[in-house]
Amino acid sequence: MGIDLVIFDCDGVLVDSEGITTRTYIDALAELGLTWAFEDAVHRFRGGKMADVIALAEADLGRPLPDGFVERFRAVLFERLRTECDPVEGIVEALDRLSHPVCVASNGPRAKMDATLGSTGLMPRFEGRIFSAYEVGSFKPEPGLFLHAAEALGARPDRCVVVEDSDGGVRAAVAAGMHALAYDGHGANLKAEGATKFDDMRALPGLVADIAGA
């Protein structure tokens, strides 16, 4: 059938940023008297958006977060990402072997992707083909972000492959009518309903080739 486009989520798929982001959340909330265990925070945050995280924190605290919390948090986070973030294991090899056009579509803001893709050396592979839910106005698990990316790059949804690491992202891909591959290399125990699960990024080119040849 052929493949027009491979759409990558960013955090946890291209860049190993999830742990850094979670620790930064935990540190920021601890200053307000809220203690979250790391593993609990990972599962609550993975694939979500900032507004959801804020709502969870405010519910647990029983009060609104202080003014300027998000701005201060992001300043600390982006600095850590610029200095501590690495590519996901095996992703560089996988990208080298992929022959299809690629792009990034993330729930995160563009500035965060600039920090992570820039610091890991992956930015040149995706320059001009980076899509943020903040710019599109549609957040996963809604399909709008993926559909926007496909339309912008002239790809048919049914000829797109989405690489995700969250159940919300998988649901968005399935709702968009796209082929979903769920990278479960972080021990997240994804449900990944409607997706093919894999745990080694080096297997990605073969999985895409299988879909293209189906």
Q: What is the mean pLDDT of the chain?
A: 93
pLDDT for res 1:
67
**Cα separation, 121 vs 111, whole angstroms:** 15
Domains of the chain from N-terminus onward: 5-16+86-213 (3.40.50.1000), 18-84 (1.10.150.240)
**Cβ contact 195:171 at 8 Å:** no
pTM (two decimals): 0.88
pLDDT one-digit tens code per residue, 163-174: 999 999 999 999
Task: Please say if the pLDDT value at position 46 is more than 90.
Answer: no
For 17, phi then psi, to 5°, come to -105, -10
- pLDDT (tens digit per residue) in 86-96: 999 999 999 99
Tell me what pLDDT residue 151 has. 98
Cα→Cα distances 35→42, 75, 98, 206, 209, Å: 13, 21, 42, 42, 45
In whole angstroms, give the CA distance from residue 208 to residue 3: 8
Cα–Cα distance measured from residue 162 to residue 121, given in angstroms and rounded to the nearest whole number: 21
pLDDT given at position 115:
94
Contacts of 178 (CB under 8 A, 6+ apart): 7, 146, 150, 157, 158, 160, 161, 162
Q: What is residue 88's predicted lDDT score, i.e. its pLDDT?
A: 97
